[in-house]
Chains A and B, each alone.
Chain A
Amino acid sequence: MTEIDRDRGRYLIGAGLSALLTILAFAAVALGLSRGVALGIIGVTAVAQVIVQLRCFLHIDFSRQKREDLQLILFSLLLLAIMAGGTLWILANLAQRMM
């Protein structure tokens, strides 16, 4: 098996897994599951699909050469958690007080 075959397999596996996870998430809504269960399935499949695509399409993993790239992703996520999480916290609190 050549390197190209391995790379092609990686893309195909990534696309197959992504399609499966997408179908699961849409099925949870289309089948009319209760809101709590559906939201749980959507959340889990979304995170799983992001990881699958990072691994298979963007070739990000824990190997030594790409630590900078992964660190950049993690730092961006930290910034997002502070800014987006903070926004949601403050505004949800405000909405509650204005009820």
Chain B
Amino acid sequence: MTANLHPGLNLGESHGAAHPASENRVFGFWVFLMSDLITFGILFATYAASGTPMGLAGGPGPAQLFDLTSVALQTAFLLASSLTCGMASLSMKAHAGAGRIALWLLVTALLGGGFLMLELSDFASMLAQGAGPARSGWLSGFFALVGLHGLHITAGLLWIGVLLGLLAVQGLSDRVKTRLLLFALYWHFLDLVWIGIFSIVFLRGLA
């Protein structure tokens, strides 16, 4: 068993120079993810602080607005996409070829896209009920927190597009390998944040 140099799946010694070359880049990206965690944490605090009768400002609350089935489906999509993203990293580590990696990335993008469609349709139905971000402090907090996570997912989908392009043009170069490692960390991190969102925002709101 080779020693791990950084968070996430490590390429291992069979990948030669790409393995040690990833260490600094992945660590730097990990610092970024932790600062992103602080951003999400502060938005969690804002959201939780506004979940009072004053914060609701007489507007609709969680019981009227949240749909448990849709949230469960979104959670399932995101967890499945985290697993397929792991399979993409694993295919790379196992030298299974660019085609196999691209396939797993594509499945990840489809699952992430499914998550985003459900989330956007939930947002649309909230807006149709007059529950937009301007309705109350609580709804501002909700859209800031859940919306920022949705934006991260959107950025992740674009990133998958770029990775697929790079794989097609450059093949599995060392640089592309490192970028795939970074993307996997990013995607798993978003699933971690989602655990917080579905627990604190949706389940606590409906309990």
Contacts and interface: CB of A to CB of B under 8 A. Distances in A.
Interface of A: 3-4, 7-8, 11-12, 14-15, 18-19, 22, 25-26, 28-30, 33, 35, 38-39, 42-43, 45-46, 49-50, 53-54, 57-60, 63, 65-66, 68-69, 72-73, 75-76, 79-80, 83-85, 87-88, 91-92, 95, 98
List the 8 closest A-B pairs by CB distance, nearest first.
A84-B45, A46-B199, A38-B207, A80-B41, A91-B49, A11-B86, A87-B45, A15-B83
Interface string B60-92: 000000001000100110011011001100100
A59 B90 contact: no
Chain A's interface: helix, strand, loop or mixed, by majority? Answer: helix
A49 B195 contact: yes
B106 interface: no
Contact of A3 (B1, B31, B204): B1
Chain B's interface: helix, strand, loop or mixed, by majority? Answer: helix
B45 A29 contact: no
Nearest to A86: B45
A26 B207 contact: no
B15 interface: no
A29 B8 CA distance: 32
Nearest to A6: B1
Nearest to B3: A65
A59 B10 contact: yes
B49 A29 contact: no
Given A76-B38, A83-B41, A92 B49 contact: yes
For A7, A14, A19, A60, which residue has the most chain B Cβ atoms within 10 angstroms?
A: A7
A56 B8 CA distance: 9
Interface of B: 1-10, 12, 27, 30-31, 34-35, 37-38, 41-42, 44-46, 48-49, 52, 54, 68, 72, 75-76, 79-80, 82-83, 86-87, 90, 93-94, 185, 188-189, 191-192, 195-196, 198-200, 203-204, 206-207
Contact of B45 (A26, A60, A76, A83): A83
Contact of A83 (B7, B30, B38): B38
A5 to B, nearest CB: 10
